Structure 1
Amino acid sequence: MSSATPPLLPIAQSERIAILDILRGCALLGILLMNIECFVGPLDAGTTGIDPQLTGMDRIADALIYVLIQGKFYTLFSLLFGMGFAVMSKRAADVGRAFMPFYLRRSLGLLTIGLIHAVLIWSGDILVLYALMSVPLLTSRRLCTAALPLTGVLLYLIPVALMSIYCWADFIVSTSSNSENIKSWQEVLAQNGTETAQVIREQRHAYGAGSYVQATVQRLHDVKNGLESLIINGVHVLGMFLLGTWFVRSGAILQPERYTRLFAWLRWGAWPLGLTAMLLSVHLASWQDVTRVDPRAFSAFALSMIAGLLMCLGYLAWGIRAAFALTWAAPAGRMALSNYLLQSMVCTLIFYGYGLGFFERLPRVWQLPFAIALFTFQVALSRWWLQRFRFGPCEWLWRSFTYLRWEPLRVASTAR
């Protein structure tokens, strides 16, 4: 008589991979340092480079975030999502349970949370994109481990290729002898710029001076616009998911001591190369005007994308090397979903017009210590919470939906 197949249960604390929690915590800080500009001002006007209107310490702060943070920790977070997928897939295979039904429920739960967050709290959400891209990620289970890195990098670079085609088209049309083609193309570019400028004005009004209802209507528009660019943003994220999957399936993240040469190259090769590419990007165009098309700015964007990948992998390697000094971030990483949502709730209530109304009033240089102070509070809150509860509040709801039962929340030693 065969024994019953053991159920697929949530990962116990003793089974958690400590380095992943540490890296998630660090990624959360990086994401907040990047996002804070988009909380303080219009969403679509943020993360576009070094604002030419800034001077002094504000400009220095903006430059540091753009060069060292923007596009690197969001990418790292995507990498970690792929690692989490691979860990869950392996656990399901180890206990002989069907993975797809469980995983699709998990993705549906994340999509629901993401939509609530994007529409009711902050439209700069990444959870919806992660949930949607988690479905094609299932196909990676059929890929051999050796094929994952190349496939991931190629997918990541698709937006760069599309941007190159766009720039080439601009060059061809601009140098064409056909005046009608030039006029039509310029009209298309002008229309795109006009629409982008209009969106920024609408965001400034809705988020800076509007009521909660007006802000929610604007968030709906932002979500719709974001979904329209799903192909470009989606393949970029999916590529990082595949790279993260490779790090687990190859054993590199579980046994980094076996991959010392790889991680040494990522620290001393990939990261400096990425920084060089980023500095060259800044030299070409330190700010990208979202209301117009500029091939030079697009070239800078392509370089910044390449830099983001290289520096992200470098940060990963440095995080593993310095894990002993970064354990303080692990509690925040264990509650990454709850903390990500909490960042949005706190910041929108402080900066948006329906909250305290500090929209576009916090100088750029002070945005950094604000973000660090908020994250420090989150680390302390997470440590306090996890001494009493097994999961963060949003993680608990997500897991309960995924496993189709209410998971015990309180730590056993404190249960009454």
Structure 2
Amino acid sequence: MRTAISAIVAGVRGREGMQASGEIAGADALPSVPLDERIQALDVLRGFALLGIFLMNVDYMVRPLAALDGSVPANLRGLDYAAGWLIYTFVQGKFWTLFSLLFGMGFAVMMTRAERAGRDFVRPYLRRSLALLGFGLIHACLIWGGDVLMNYALVAFVLLLGFRRMRLNWLWRFALLLFLVPVLMSAVGLATTYHALHSSPAAYTEKMHEREQTHQKWLTEVGAAEQLQRHGSYAAMSRQRAQDMIKSLPWMAIGGMQILGVFLFGAWLIRSGRMVKPQAHLPFFRGMLILTLPLGSLLALCSAWCGVTTIPGASTLRVGIGTSLMDIASMLMCLGYLSVIVLWLQHPRGARVLAWLAPAGRMALTNYLLQSLLGTWLFYGYGLGLAGYFSRAWQVVYVLVFYILQLLLSRWWLSSHRYGPMEWLWRYLTYLRQPIWSSSPR
């Protein structure tokens, strides 16, 4: 563990020392490699993240969003319990973090390419973010309510306006601060509330009564949401999705702070050269793997033991501790997964296996939306209405089968096309000129 920490610290200090000596400055910190070529690790990581995102999201499609409490449901048994427990511990929270990390990397790559080519970066990136916001609104209101694209688009504006010119050695520091502030705020608020309640028996009794009333109201809302999802029309579901999206806007500020922190760390990984030329930074990735994956797994297991739930009536202290532990575990395990992929790509056999993920990663937006389209059509009442037939274990089987089909479909599509359908549209809206559609020679 001490060796791992030393490797990471030495890598960070070494890179910052180069910046101070003038060898690296801002976006020019990138090593002398052809950035016009795609960075293979990013495509592989996007393809890998699609699997984790789908494993997490599928339960949010089978059941109404209002019914989900962020924990392993207590009524699960056997394989269903094992599937729920494994997904909570090793998947939940880790892959939106990985996608956020990749988004920050994409920001840094696009900025560096534009600056090196002497092209404008701000206006194309604003158009790119506006387009993503539009995709997110359509997705959230017309397809599925668990959208994350809107959050990414809104945070992207902050990233562009406030952090584009930040010095390299400040990027990771701000990233850490922004990610941890909500966790610390939650811990302080939890401790204050817990102390206030338990220092006054009358206040505690009143709070428990309020909690019970809130719990009954929640059960009523969940029942109504289940009926709507099973029997409601597409128009009724779309209205409900729009209302849910509006209600969630205040929470985007809290979640957005953590997303911005992850974005910044992703940008640092590119600007420091680590993800551009990982073979030159293998000690850093080995150290990060040894440090983050075991520690993150331990914290996730502790969180699972706490029985995290957002259902009113649960133990406030236990829930708060479990939630905070999972927030930290998600970031650590995300970095551990990233390190595994990067290190495995350095071996010929690993690179051959992981190459199957890259086409899906190049079409990540298309594949993400396809997952939502198929899931809602399969499970919702206005589609096939099969939600009641998919237990937690069968959800995993469904995800694995469809994910393999996505890998094959992406590989087939990109054999004759340069971009996925949504990637082509996104690029068109970004640069306001028609991208090349076919990759086949004419």
Percent identity of the aligned residues? 42
Q: Contact (CA 8 Å) 1:129, 1:230: kept in 2 or not? A: yes
Structure 2 residue 254 is matched with structure 1 residue 226: no
- The code of the aligned residue for 1:225 comes to K
Partner of 1:291: 312
Q: Quote how far apart the aligned CAs of 1:311 are.
A: 0.4
Q: Which residue of 2 aligns with 1:100?
A: 122
Q: 1:159 aligns with which of 182, 190, 204?
A: 182
SS in 1 for 2:357: helix
Aligned counterpart, 1:52: 74
Per the alignment, residue 415 of structure 2 pairs with: 387
> In structure 2, how many angstroms separate the alpha carbons of the residues matched to 1:304 and 1:212?
35
Offset of residue 343 of structure 1: 0.3
Q: Alignment length, in residue pairs? A: 401
Q: Which runs of no fewer than 5 residues in structure 1 stay unpaired? A: 1-11
Deviation string 1:210-253 (CA, Å, 9 cap, x unpaired) is 11111111111221122120111111111110010000000010
Aligned partner of 1:307 in structure 2 is 329
For 2:378, the equivalent position in structure 1 comes to: 350
Aligned mate of 1:276, from 286, 293, 298: 298
| Deviations 1:320-352, CA, capped at 9 Å, x for gaps | 112313110101000000000000000100000
Using the TM superposition, give the Cα deviation of residue 198 of structure 1 relative to its aligned residue in structure 2, in angstroms.
Answer: 4.4
- 1:362-401 paired onto structure 2 within 5 Å: 362-401=390-429
2:5 aligned partner: none
1:238 matches 2:260: yes
Q: CA deviation at 1:172?
A: 2.7
Measured in 2, the distance between the counterparts of 1:65 and 1:276 equals 15
Contact 2:69/2:309 (<8 A) preserved: no
Q: Which runs of 5+ in 2 are unaligned?
A: 1-33, 346-350
With normalisation by structure 2, the TM-score equals 0.86
For 1:202 and 1:322, the matched residues in 2 are separated by 48
* Alignment deviations for residues 357-396 of structure 1 (CA, whole Å, 9 cap, x no partner): 0123201111111101111111111111111211111111
Q: What pairs with 1:12-411 in structure 2 (closer than 5 Å)?
A: 15-46=37-68, 48-138=70-160, 139-177=162-200, 179=202, 182=204, 185=207, 189=211, 193=215, 196-283=218-305, 285-292=306-313, 294-323=316-345, 324=351, 325-411=353-439
Q: How much does 1:173 deviate?
A: 2.2
Contact 2:180 2:258 in 1 (8 A): yes
Q: What's the offset of the Cα at 1:128?
A: 0.4
Distance 1:395 1:277 in 2: 37
Contact 2:66–2:222 (Cα < 8 Å) also in 1: yes
Kindly report the root-mean-square deviation, in angstroms, between the aligned alpha carbons of the 2 structures: 2.0
Contact 2:308 2:318 in 1 (8 A): no
CA distance in 1, matches of 2:297, 2:290: 11
Kindly tell me: are residues 248 and 191 of structure 1, through their superposed partners in 2, closer, same or farther at Cα, counting changes over 3 Å? farther
Q: Which amino acid aligns with 2:295?
A: L
Q: Which is further off, 30-39 or 402-411?
A: 402-411
* Counterpart amino acid of residue 249 in structure 1: R
Shift of 1:291: 2.5
Is the contact between residue 208 and residue 313 of structure 2 (CA under 8 Å) also seen in structure 1? no
Q: Distance in 2 between matches of 1:380 and 1:47?
A: 34
Asked whether the 8 Å contact 2:172–2:264 carries over to 1, the reply is yes
Q: Which has the larger displacement, 300-309 or 136-145?
A: 136-145
Worse overlay, 329-338 or 154-163: 154-163
Label 1:163 to 1:192 Cα distance change in 2 as closer, same or farther (>3 A).
farther
Asked if structure 2 preserves the Cα contact closer than 8 Å seen for 1:123 and 1:222, the reply is yes
Residue 7 of structure 1 corresponds to which residue in structure 2? none
Which whole-Å CA distance do the structure 2 matches of 1:197 and 1:318 have between them? 42
Letter in 2 for 1:167: L
Match in the other structure for 1:3? none
Contact 2:288-2:335 at 8 Å conserved across structures: yes
Give secondary structure in 1 for the equivalent of 2:307: coil
CA contact (8 A) 2:308 2:322 kept: no
SS in 2 for 1:379: helix
How far off is 1:188 after superposition? 6.0
Q: Give the partner amino acid of 1:402.
A: T
